[in-house]
A and B are shown apart, each in its own frame.
Chain A
Amino acid sequence: MNTQHLETDFLIIGGGTAGPLAAIKARQKSPNTRVLLLDKANVKRSGAIAEGMDSVNNAVIPGYATPEQYVREITIANDGIVNQAAINAYAVRSYDMIQELDAWGVKFDKDETGDYAVKKVHHLGAYVLPMPEGYNIKKVLFKQIRKLGVDISNRLTATRLLLGADGRIAGALALDSRTGDFVVIRARAVLLCTGAAGRLGLPASGYLFGTYENPTNAGDGYSMAYHAGAELSGLECFQINPLIKDYNGPACAYVTGPFGGYTVNAKGERFIKSDYWSGQMMWEFWRELEGGNGPVFLKLDHLAEETVEKIEHVLHITERPTRGRFHEGRHTDYRRNLVEMHISEIGLCGGHSASGVWVDEHARTTVPGLYAAGDLCNVAHNYMLGAMVYGQIAAEDALEFIADKELAELDVAAIEAERERIYAPLERAEGLSPAKVEYKLRRMVNDYLQPPKVTAKMEIGLQRFAEIRADLEQLKARNPHELMRVMELYAILDCAELAARASLFRTESRWGLYHYRADYPERNDANWFAFVQVKKNAHGEMEIFTRPVPDYLYPLTEKERKAYSDIRIEDTTLAA
């Protein structure tokens, strides 16, 4: 095994959505700063937008919405547990980012007069900007990256962060999943943007890679941030999505809603007023599925031929372009058939819910010099555009941070310990295969963590997770590719344990289905109007505590506060 040594000023781990923007913004602002963009896959086609995106879910465009309106809506959708300053930092930069992407060649939907054609999908305001030709977005970003001379290293799986003696970031360690090389990277600042923990629960299909998220997003960043001592937040606020059954991709309400599509139960009746993804919406969805009114379907069969063709033109060419192929195989035609939906397995994701590495409005984590952005950070409902803006924010702050900093000293003992951890499964003569252990772990996640959350189940789950942790000592990898899967398995296990412990800690119910605790069914603002934080303390132990919600920039009225609890259409309410 060879060891490679790399050195840079600003290391970006994750080349999906936030990463490219951070790289671009850093080089635009400071052409002499060395920027290294690392990806587990290939930056050209990596991350959540590998095949583009079909809409901006949270555009804050003058004339349609104001930052204040947007911040209020996201606050309400998250039952009040947000840092409004962090949401606002996105909102005030949203329009500039859209204009810049537009100038680079990203295609957004416009009306006859050339204005952005914003649609209303959220419960209160209008923020959805369709991208019917959004399949080219990675190509557009890649062109900018090349133009600005960003260094890229593909097929490197980062496994641990390195800290200097003063607690400041020093770099990262990585495995080359092609050559098996061990890579030591020194950097003056590091941005983690490795996406959601999308390989946490097991899809109902049983297929390990049949996930909603790009399966390369295994939760590596959550695990790396945790082991570096950074605070993580909201890990009990799970990501659960309403998806096309078995295909496990979005249906997608944001695309079909503005065209007149909507969700119905088995009786063909609407049961939710808004298809915008929130815990409250998922709660109603779950009640419908479990309460005898299911299955739940996406209904498009009432739409005109021309409209259906438009929908197909978006859904079957961007984001998840195999949707059409899946429907074809099942003889589902939007013109005649309803599309069966279901509830996904659980994941952790800041971009869609609110579970991630804690950052402030400068994208700073609690570790000096370490930043987080995109689905990995806990800025709620940030989606694609929020990831890009937070990439920008992180780059701008990191440039200031490194201005007066030398590279921190490397911790030789930590490097050697990590080398040993990584290569043990390759050197072992025989043992358990990573796929088998991953299957078992993720099945246990389904069995014990899928809401409704039950205390006794989560406690059993923690026992099973501990046993699987012991099994990691018996894993066998036959090549560097399988070794990458082993490293991911460590991260998935960390995420499972963190999610269980954070869920047990918050003894109330909040965010609809995302944190519905059967033993504590009521929301309890008196005790729990706070973030739940997790971190690894100086003794190497997991510490869980609350962090107060910062004072609001835009206080809510009582009526606003309850807007999202009132999402069900009452005449189909079940006798609960």
Chain B
Amino acid sequence: MNTNETQFAVSIMVDHDKCIADKGCRICIDVCPTDILTLDDEGKIRMSYDECWYCLPCEHDCPTKAIRVEIPYLLR
């Protein structure tokens, strides 16, 4: 259940070596229906809320294929 808001297993994996957020790319943040991807203090894309619908626009629209979405643990 989603009752512990401070700690959850991230199910959206970002390969920061491939990610071009430092060049200003925000595509995954833009297309996520539930708006759970954010830019952290170091300028890296991260999953900030345990609200993933495992739908894949972030992965499909990423220009460098830096994202891999896994099925959230409770459903696996």
- Write out, one digit per residue, whether chain B residues 9-33 have a CB within 8 A of any chain A CB (1) or not (0): 0000000000000000000001111
Q: Using Cβ atoms and an 8 Å threshold, which residues of chain A touch B30?
A: 42, 44, 154
With an 8 A cutoff between CB atoms, is B3 at the interface?
Answer: yes
Q: Is B55 positioned at the interface, with any CB of A under 8 Å from its CB?
A: yes
Distance, CA A433 to CA B51, complexed state (A): 14
A306 to B55, CA, bound (A): 27
Partner of B56, one of A42, A214, A321: A321
Measured CA separation A207–B8 after assembly (Å)? 12
Q: Give Cα A484 to B36, complex, Å.
A: 12
B3 touches A210 (CB 8 A): no
Stretch touching chain B among A55-63, A118-126, A322-330: A322-330
CA distance A439 to B2 in the complex (A): 7
Q: Flag if A435 contacts B3 (CB, 8 Å).
A: yes
Q: Closest Cβ of chain A: how far from B3's Cβ, in Å? A: 5
User: Count of chain B residues with Cβ under 8 Å from any Cβ of A?
Assistant: 28
Residues of chain A lying within 8 A (CB to CB) of residue B5: 433, 435-436
- Residues of chain A lying within 8 A (CB to CB) of residue B32: 41-42, 45
Q: Mark out the residues of chain B between 44 and 63 whose CB falls within 8 Å of any chain A CB in the assembled complex.
A: 49-57, 60-61
Given contacts A321-B56, A329-B76, A435-B5, contact A215 B35 (CB under 8 A): no
Which of B3, B31, B70, B71 has a CB less than 8 Å from the CB of A436?
Answer: B3
Chain A residues whose CB sits within 8 angstroms of the CB of B50 once the complex forms? 209, 435
Structural contact, A207 and B74, CB atoms closer than 8 A:
yes
- Please measure, in the bound complex, the distance between the C-alpha atom of A94 and the C-alpha atom of B7, giving whole angstroms: 48
Whole-angstrom distance from the CB of B76 to the nearest CB of chain A? 5
> B34 within 8 Å of A by Cβ?
yes
Q: Cβ of A248: which chain B residues have Cβ within 8 Å of it?
A: 75
B69 within 8 A of A: yes
A41 in contact with B33 (CB, 8 Å): yes
Name the B residues within 8 Å of A45 (CB-CB).
31-33, 57, 61
A325 to B56, CA, bound (A): 11
Contact (Cβ within 8 A) A215 B72? no
Identify the interface centre among B3, B30, B54: most chain A CB within 10 Å of its CB.
B54
Contact of B72 with A210 in the complex, beta carbons under 8 Å: yes
Partner of A41, one of B34, B61, B75: B34
Neighbour of B71 across the interface among A42, A211, A247, CB < 8 A: A247
Say whether A326 contacts B71, CB under 8 Å. Answer: yes
Residue-by-residue, is A200-229 near B (CB-CB < 8 Å gives 1, otherwise 0)? 000001111111001110000000000000
How far is B70's CA from A329's CA once the two chains are assembled, in angstroms? 10
Question: Does A506 reach chain B (CB closer than 8 Å)?
Answer: no
Measured in the bound complex, the distance between the Cα atoms of B3 and A45 in whole Å is: 28
A248's nearest neighbour on chain B, judged by CB, is: B75
Interface residue from B34, B70, B75 paired with A247 (Cβ < 8 Å): B75
- Asked whether A273 is an interface residue with its Cβ less than 8 Å from the other chain, the reply is no
Q: Which chain A residue has the least Cβ–Cβ distance from B69?
A: A322
Question: Cβ of B2: which chain A residues have Cβ within 8 Å of it?
Answer: 206-209, 435, 439
A246 sits at the interface (CB 8 A) = yes
Q: Are A50 and B71 in contact (CB under 8 A)?
A: no
Docked Cα-Cα span, A534 to B19, in Å, equals 50
Measured between beta carbons, the chain B residues less than 8 angstroms from A247 are 71, 75
Q: Is A107 an interface residue (CB 8 A)?
A: no
Which B positions have Cβ atoms within 8 angstroms of A? 1-3, 5, 30-35, 49-57, 60-61, 69-72, 74-76
Give me the 4 closest cross-chain CB pairs, A-B, nearest first: A45-B57, A45-B31, A207-B74, A41-B33
7 more CB-based (< 8 A) A-B contacts, given A44-B57, A209-B51: A44-B30, A45-B61, A209-B2, A215-B33, A215-B51, A321-B60, A436-B5
